Chain A
């Protein structure tokens, strides 16, 4: 939002005590950031008001005119002018020799000197609006109003400073979307006087013969809490005076004609949007009705676009058509043109939520809707149209043609809030007195009342710390004590609040187990050469297809950015596969992992989607069988790190949702105490090809929520023994398909107390036979074992293995 310095100065006579930078800093520190200060029309120089005395044809040109102008009523200055609209007895803008104006609308500057144009001397230049930086119009020179004083310094009049205020942070402050609102804030921030012209004294009595002003409100009071209107006749549509054009164009509003400019000016001044209907263009008995739009009803708005409405939108219509979408934009049919003579001037208060919704549905935002969306004070409507009427009558003989219309069934009243000053002091670590707080609030036009005698005559009376504050109707954002804490803080100055640390007890914060586990896994896996990546939680349908996952188990996004980001991932693996694909051309060998929540469509008893923490790792550093054993080695490493004994099982088919991603014969389950923890193996070649991956990929996934149930188990220490450990190697022929876990589980289930360890020393296949060499170590905590003692156990083990698993002891 652009705010003009000159405009503000009208209400703040002391404003120029402060530099523009100080003003911007003051606003930034206490209201909203000023993003930029712009010196408007800085380059204009030596441009004055002149009167054209005579216009003749240039002796050497058909298109040029030779004019005589004066800037003081006496001296005649000869100017050559090419504009078609130059005429005697008009007031114009003259750039004198040595001055400068704009060469184009890109703000390139030209210097004006006395020159000869086709052999005739020209001592300056008459300027077009574009040359003065007022707009893009370069079709002729700017004709100024008749009553402007000649010789007046136009360059000075047109120059201004404009503050660009970031308006997102004041979306709750509808009152600040206006020059008066910002001026009021500045008066509080700098403690300077704020002088506002009072319109209430103006009488609005129609002078001539009365016309009909019929307006009917056919919507709920909530949607239209106030509707004020004037019927104004005898209008003369013409350009606005230069001062108004200067103000409007400085804040980015294009001057059009006096009527349009005045409605814009009043809106930027008060924050109250106005709308003007050309009375003569209204149908039938010229009455207006505020009603809901009919479904699919159509209106062509001012911007010449056809808009389709719905039943939720509020419109202002005549007996035939919609003449305006309430609070958003007027209709083209009854819009003001140069021929407008009579108009209805509307100032209404529309409900913010409805305006916001309609504006969004239509995809149509305007200066008016921006203001109504924030909520406007209904008490502004009358001052705003009164002010507009005064401007219109000053500029063009306008007269009232009917009594004012004012629908205001439930006037908004000043609210009262009880305020405990201790609460303010507590929230700001301050010790302001009651009087200081009252003074701060008064600067913001918030009046306070206290029952305590202010002259201090009764020192024994317990003084009340509670004051009653009256919230003006333009501050609907102030409702609770905390709102007033902010008011006090920002006017007192946030920068005057010294930072301090809270006192706290010495209770140490808890270890957050998820964070701890994630850190352990991350640091270990990176130490093992794997890189941690992060990727989007959203994937696409194609990713589900490519990874053989069931999309029906996944949660869809209703309003995705793109189809490839339209579903929450149920597993991290598809993301890793895509990341692998994008890296494989630039990085030869890599291992990547990600730790994140995955999201299931399934919900828990609280209606929350099941979102387990997962880790997935994908590794292409090894080929063939090594791809598998590397993944297994990593898992064994993690199992030792976490002191959680992972158990590995063979599974060709598994209920684990991503089981289909794996090579069916190079795949295993990971369990802890019969709980399903994860899966691992080699990526199925089919899936690899779906993601255009080359080479072999090892892969594992763990559910960290499950893992967390088993971490933090204490280490069980076994005392060291001095007796030697004795190892025996045994080689067997074993049946095809027998798993090592079957052997180890069988041996372990026999509980040989002296058996310390069972390991695989060697394994190979010979045609259809498979050999395994087991290394068994024995140790006692009480004595040195003898050969015969060990022989006994070994033969027991051998017998059991032979009997139950058909292991055949190989003769050496």
Chain B
């Protein structure tokens, strides 16, 4: 056992100066290597502080506690300095950037190109979504249907002069490339439970020469609503609400008489022109109105053929073309683009 005198005051001074030295030499730490040297020098097994800590037990009781706590505090402080420096050093190491790494953020990549959804499809989905929210079911039509479903069952019996208004494509077996999606009306009336609320979006055909305003192939949305006590006003309300949602604008509707054999009363519905908000423009021919769809109260004969008693139930039906709405929305000048497959066209939507 050493008898050499331990001078507590000297040790306390030593601790203080060690701390001071550590603080000042920490400023020299530049890299991993100097950090390691610093750690070894002040915190290592052979460091002065370690040897002081080892000797604490040799002091008399009076000083043991003081020196112990002082040296531990010093160690903690130096450790903190080392930690701080270590973050600094690490940051320095990984932020050693160079101009050579420069990347042009404006350069196009094109590695994950997105395709485009056809504008008519987008509009059809919007239409389906609004009507579904309003409680309508959806049914799609066939492309080819028989005379009964396309004509007879919607009160257009054979020989009816109004049939001529539909320029019809006939197939070799006397069936029809459907002229309207009313081709599903009889099936809907027969197969859905009352009250009936159904829309029928789908492809239709008219045998006519094409030009920027006319297409032999187009998309129609037929709608059918049958319940007890349904009035013409309900039709106006339902369609008004739909178009307000569709155009996200406050829109008024106007009904003017027209003749369609499948409805009575029947007419055309016009909307406030969505381009000029009813002020009058080129598209609405200065009238402030756009004639957009044919509609009316379902003819009692049509209800009867669908197995529904017209004395108990009434209903309304309508049909409008989607391409017209897309053309209005985007100011498209030629209806033939829709079926052209032109990618320059599709990729704009």
Chain B residues lying within 8 Å of A528, measured Cβ to Cβ, are: 115
Q: A480-B300, A568-B143 are in contact. Are A33 and B114 (CB under 8 A)?
A: no
Nearest opposing residue in chain A for B229, CB measure: A426
List B residues 102-129 near A (Cβ within 8 Å).
Answer: 112-118, 120-121, 125, 128
* A405 to B303 alpha-carbon distance, docked (Å): 46
- B96 contacts A by Cβ under 8 Å: no
- B140 contacts A by Cβ under 8 Å: yes
Q: Are B339 and A556 in contact (CB under 8 A)?
A: no
Chain B residues lying within 8 Å of A558, measured Cβ to Cβ, are: 169-172, 174
Q: Are A515 and B138 in contact (CB under 8 A)?
A: yes
List B residues 268-324 near A (Cβ within 8 Å).
Answer: 268, 297, 299-300, 314
Q: A170-B259, A427-B232 are in contact. Are A501 and B177 (CB under 8 A)?
A: no
Which of A504, A509, A555, A559 interacts with B144 by CB under 8 Å?
A555
Q: Are A497 and B255 in contact (CB under 8 A)?
A: yes
Which of B116, B138, B207, B264 interacts with A483 by CB under 8 Å?
B264
* A587 to B137 alpha-carbon distance, docked (Å): 40
Nearest opposing residue in chain A for B160, CB measure: A353
Min Cβ gap A165→B in Å is 12
Which of A501, A532, A537, A587 interacts with B238 by CB under 8 Å?
A501
- B241 contacts A by Cβ under 8 Å: yes
Chain B residues lying within 8 Å of A608, measured Cβ to Cβ, are: 142, 144-146
Q: Are A427 and B139 in contact (CB under 8 A)?
A: no
* A172 to B266 alpha-carbon distance, docked (Å): 12
Q: Are A509 and B132 in contact (CB under 8 A)?
A: yes
Q: Are B341 and A535 in contact (CB under 8 A)?
A: yes
Q: Are B117 and A522 in contact (CB under 8 A)?
A: yes
- B347 contacts A by Cβ under 8 Å: yes
Q: Are B144 and A499 in contact (CB under 8 A)?
A: no
Q: Are B232 and A171 in contact (CB under 8 A)?
A: no
Contact with B along A475-506 (1 / 0, CB 8 A): 00000111101100110001101111110110
Nearest opposing residue in chain B for A595, CB measure: B121
* A494 to B257 alpha-carbon distance, docked (Å): 8
- B333 contacts A by Cβ under 8 Å: no
* A482 to B136 alpha-carbon distance, docked (Å): 26
Nearest opposing residue in chain B for A603, CB measure: B173
* A278 to B305 alpha-carbon distance, docked (Å): 52
Q: Are A499 and B240 in contact (CB under 8 A)?
A: yes
Q: Are A578 and B234 in contact (CB under 8 A)?
A: no
Min Cβ gap A17→B in Å is 23
- B77 contacts A by Cβ under 8 Å: no
Contact with B along A574-596 (1 / 0, CB 8 A): 01001100110011001110001
List A residues 369-402 near B (Cβ within 8 Å).
Answer: 373
Which of B253, B257, B265, B347 interacts with A31 by CB under 8 Å?
B257
Min Cβ gap A86→B in Å is 46
Residue from A482, A559, A611 having most chain B Cβ neighbours under 10 A = A482
Q: Are A171 and B135 in contact (CB under 8 A)?
A: no
- B212 contacts A by Cβ under 8 Å: no
Q: Are A480 and B234 in contact (CB under 8 A)?
A: no
Q: Are A531 and B256 in contact (CB under 8 A)?
A: no
Count of chain B residues with a beta carbon within 8 Å of a chain A beta carbon: 83
- A630 contacts B by Cβ under 8 Å: no
Size band of the interface chain A makes with B: 35 or more
Q: Are A611 and B217 in contact (CB under 8 A)?
A: no
Which of A169, A555, A559, A597 interacts with B258 by CB under 8 Å?
A169
Q: Are B165 and A428 in contact (CB under 8 A)?
A: no
Chain B residues lying within 8 Å of A507, measured Cβ to Cβ, are: 135
* A664 to B134 alpha-carbon distance, docked (Å): 51
Q: Are A429 and B240 in contact (CB under 8 A)?
A: no
Min Cβ gap A379→B in Å is 21
- B7 contacts A by Cβ under 8 Å: no
Min Cβ gap B232→A in Å is 6
Q: Are A557 and B231 in contact (CB under 8 A)?
A: no
Q: Are B299 and A559 in contact (CB under 8 A)?
A: no
- A525 contacts B by Cβ under 8 Å: yes
Min Cβ gap B217→A in Å is 5
- A510 contacts B by Cβ under 8 Å: yes
Q: Are A509 and B137 in contact (CB under 8 A)?
A: yes
- A550 contacts B by Cβ under 8 Å: no
Q: Are A597 and B256 in contact (CB under 8 A)?
A: no
Min Cβ gap A506→B in Å is 8
- B99 contacts A by Cβ under 8 Å: no
* A505 to B194 alpha-carbon distance, docked (Å): 11
Q: A426-B229, A501-B237 are in contact. Are A534 and B120 (CB under 8 A)?
A: yes
Chain B residues lying within 8 Å of A578, measured Cβ to Cβ, are: 341
Q: Are B135 and A504 in contact (CB under 8 A)?
A: yes
Q: Are B341 and A592 in contact (CB under 8 A)?
A: yes
Which of A352, A489, A523 interacts with B161 by CB under 8 Å?
A352
Q: Are A426 and B314 in contact (CB under 8 A)?
A: yes
- A168 contacts B by Cβ under 8 Å: yes
- A519 contacts B by Cβ under 8 Å: yes
Q: Are A557 and B171 in contact (CB under 8 A)?
A: yes
Q: Are A532 and B256 in contact (CB under 8 A)?
A: no
Q: Are A353 and B159 in contact (CB under 8 A)?
A: yes
Q: A512-B137, A515-B128, A556-B172 are in contact. Are A504 and B343 (CB under 8 A)?
A: no
List B residues 201-230 near A (Cβ within 8 Å).
Answer: 203, 205, 207, 209-210, 216-217, 225, 227, 229-230
* A509 to B188 alpha-carbon distance, docked (Å): 14
- B233 contacts A by Cβ under 8 Å: yes
* A504 to B227 alpha-carbon distance, docked (Å): 9
- A28 contacts B by Cβ under 8 Å: yes
Which of A170, A352, A515, A599 interacts with B143 by CB under 8 Å?
A599
* A490 to B195 alpha-carbon distance, docked (Å): 28
* A568 to B145 alpha-carbon distance, docked (Å): 13
Q: Are A509 and B118 in contact (CB under 8 A)?
A: no
Chain A residues lying within 8 Å of B117, measured Cβ to Cβ, are: 522-523, 526, 532
Chain B residues lying within 8 Å of A502, measured Cβ to Cβ, are: 225, 227, 230, 234, 237-238
Contact with A along B329-341 (1 / 0, CB 8 A): 0000000001111
Chain B residues lying within 8 Å of A559, measured Cβ to Cβ, are: 169-170, 207
Q: A502-B230, A560-B169 are in contact. Are A611 and B341 (CB under 8 A)?
A: no
- A55 contacts B by Cβ under 8 Å: no
Min Cβ gap B132→A in Å is 5
Chain A residues lying within 8 Å of B264, measured Cβ to Cβ, are: 480, 482-483, 485-486
Q: Are B143 and A597 in contact (CB under 8 A)?
A: yes
Q: A527-B114, A536-B217 are in contact. Are A490 and B145 (CB under 8 A)?
A: no
Chain A residues lying within 8 Å of B115, measured Cβ to Cβ, are: 525-532, 591
Which of B128, B137, B233 interacts with A510 by CB under 8 Å?
B137
List A residues 642-688 near B (Cβ within 8 Å).
Answer: none
* A173 to B232 alpha-carbon distance, docked (Å): 22
Chain B residues lying within 8 Å of A427, measured Cβ to Cβ, are: 231-232, 265, 297, 314
Q: Are B171 and A500 in contact (CB under 8 A)?
A: no
Q: Are B195 and A505 in contact (CB under 8 A)?
A: yes
* A593 to B153 alpha-carbon distance, docked (Å): 35
Min Cβ gap A580→B in Å is 8
- B66 contacts A by Cβ under 8 Å: no
Min Cβ gap B307→A in Å is 17
Q: Are B255 and A557 in contact (CB under 8 A)?
A: no
* A523 to B228 alpha-carbon distance, docked (Å): 40
Q: Are B297 and A583 in contact (CB under 8 A)?
A: no
* B contact residues vs A (CB 8 Å cutoff): 112-118, 120-121, 125, 128, 132, 135-140, 142-146, 159, 161-162, 164-165, 169-175, 177, 195, 197, 203, 205, 207, 209-210, 216-217, 225, 227, 229-234, 236-238, 240-241, 253-259, 264-268, 297, 299-300, 314, 338-344, 346-347
29 A-B pairs (CB sep. < 8 Å): A33-B256, A169-B257, A171-B161, A171-B165, A427-B231, A428-B233, A429-B231, A480-B264, A480-B300, A489-B265, A490-B265, A509-B135, A509-B138, A509-B197, A512-B138, A515-B128, A529-B114, A531-B115, A533-B341, A537-B203, A557-B169, A560-B169, A561-B210, A568-B143, A568-B144, A582-B341, A583-B342, A586-B344, A609-B175
Beyond known contacts A481-B300, A482-B299, A537-B177: 11 more, CB 8 A cutoff: A31-B257, A169-B259, A171-B259, A486-B257, A499-B237, A509-B135, A512-B128, A529-B115, A536-B217, A607-B146, A608-B144
